[in-house]
Amino acid sequence: MNTPAFLLCVGCALALAHGIVHAGESRAAPGYNAAQAQSGTADTADVQRLIAAAAAGERAQVERIAAEIKARPRPARGDRRKARDLNDRGLALWQRQRYSEAADYFSQARAADAGSAEIAENLGYALLKSGRIAEAERALVDALAMAPERASAWGSLGQIYAKQGRHRDGVGCLLTAYRYASNPKRALDVYSRLAATDEDPRVRALLSDVVTRLSGT
């Protein structure tokens, strides 16, 4: 599953803490369209409602919207074998911290198979690490539209909001990530460590706030 890739960068530790290993499945283009919404597939409006509920700390609302999203059809699957191969190539570059090149492969993997939340998230994280924040946000929203319980996607989205100066939204995302984490104690330990080591002061402030909130519960 190429787990060592996550040991090379600060943000990857968040993915490990949340219990998600990105190793692939996925087709393409950022965002869902009206035809998908009409056919019952989750669209970005659903995810924006989900994110707004998370930012407001409305846990019950988050669970309700997430259940609605999960009940809807996902995009049709494409060439999974091709997508997996492209995803693995992206992960190999990711392991060497060549995030921009990795993003190119993850994008091709999504073009091969649209139904993989994992590859959408891989793309979002690689774009985030490449500094392509707006594109990263769209890819992560796509991942959550397919799998709203993906803790690591919530964690990456929280980092994006911190970098955009949206501290409150970032806190909501990180708290949601924590609730979905397979090992909440490990997640809190990682948050505490990264609150002192992340290179971005806005992300450090976000993590410090989240750790304070969680430690008081």
Contact status, residue 31 vs residue 138, Cβ threshold 8 Å: yes
Q: Where are the domains of the chain?
A: 3-215
Assign 9 a pLDDT band (cuts: 50, 70, 90).
very low
Query: How far is CA 50 from each of CA 58, 104, 208, rounded to the nearest angstrom?
Result: 10, 28, 24
Contacts of 68 (CB under 8 A, 6+ apart): 42, 46
Q: What is the mean pLDDT of residues 33-47?
A: 53
- Among 11-25, 91-105, 113-127, 167-181, the minimum mean pLDDT is found in 11-25
Instruction: Read off the tokens for 60.
Output: 């019950």
The residue assigned the tokens 């949601």 is: 176
pLDDT in tens, 99-122: 999 999 999 999 999 899 999 999
The residue assigned the tokens 């959550």 is: 144
* Whether residue 32 has pLDDT greater than 50: no
* Phi, psi dihedral angles at 179 (to 5 degrees): -65, -30
CA distance 133 to 160: 7
| pLDDT value at residue 165 | 96
* Whether residue 26 has pLDDT greater than 70: no
| pLDDT value at residue 7 | 32
Q: Which top CATH class is 3-215?
A: mainly alpha
